[in-house]
Structure 1
Amino acid sequence: MTPVQEQAEIFALQKVGDYVQFTVIAPKIAQDAKPGQFVAVAVGGENTAMILRRSFALLSATPSGDFAGTVQFVVADAGAGTRWLTQRRTGDVIDIVGPLGVPFPLPSSPVPAVLVGGGYGTAPLLPLAQALKANGSEVEFVLGASTSTRLFGELAAKRLAGRVTVTTDDGTSGQRGIVTDVLPEVIERVRAQIVYACGPMGMLRAVSELAQAFRIHAQVAVEESMACGIGVCMTCVLPVVGDDGYSRFVRSCVEGPIFDGTRVRWRDVGTLPPDLVGAEAMGGH
Structure 2
Amino acid sequence: MLTTRQVDAYHALTVVAPRIAEGFRPGHFLGVAVGGPHTSMLTRRAFFIHDVKPDYGGTVEFVFAVDGPGTAWLAGRRARDTLDLVGPLGRPFPLPRDPVTCVMVGDEYGSAMLFTVADALQRRGCRVDFVLGGASADRVFGAMRARRMAETTTLTTEDGSLGMRGRVTDVLPGVIADVRADVVYASGPMETLRRATAVAVEFDIPIQVAVEERMACGIGVCMTCVLPVIGDDGVTRMVRACVEGPVFRGERVRFDDVGTIPFDALGAPGGGSRNVS
TM normalised by structure 1 equals: 0.94
CA displacement, residues 26-51 of structure 1 (integer Å, 9 cap, x when unaligned): 00100110111000100011121001
Where structure 1 has 5 or more consecutive residues not aligned to the other structure, the ranges are 1-9
Letter in 1 for 2:269: E
Stretches of 4+ moved more than 4 A in 1?
none
Report 1:85-164 matches (<5 A). Answer: 85-164=74-153
Deviation per CA, 1:143-163: give whole Å up to 9, x if none.
010011111111111111142
Of residues 191, 199, 207, the one that matches 1:218 is 207
Q: Determine which of 21, 25, 33 is the counterpart of 1:34.
A: 25
* Residue aligned with 1:210, SS: helix
1:200 to 189, 201, 206: 189
Q: In the alignment, what sits opposite 2:49?
A: 58
TM-score, normalised via structure 2 length? 0.96
Structure 2: tracts of 5 or more residues without a match: none
Choose the corresponding residue for 1:166, options 155, 158, 171.
Answer: 155
Q: Which residue is equivalent to 1:21?
A: 12
Matched residue of 1:262: which SS?
Answer: helix
Q: In 2, are the aligned partners of 1:20 and 1:86 still within 8 Å (CA)?
A: yes
2:253 & 2:85 partners in 1: Cα distance?
29
Q: How many percent identity over aligned positions?
A: 54
How far residue 239 of structure 1 moved from its aligned partner, in angstroms, is 0.1
Size of the alignment, in residue pairs?
273
Q: Which amino acid aligns with 2:37?
A: E
Query: How many angstroms apart in 2 are the aligned matches of 1:136 and 1:106?
Result: 11
1:198 shift after superposition: 0.1
CA RMSD of aligned residues (A): 1.3
For the residues of structure 2 that align with 1:147 and 1:270, how far apart are their CA atoms?
Answer: 28
Counterpart position of 2:34: 43
Contact 2:127 2:151 in 1 (8 A): no
CA distance in 2, matches of 1:77, 1:16: 12
Is residue 70 of structure 2 the alignment partner of residue 81 of structure 1? yes
The match for 1:191 is 180
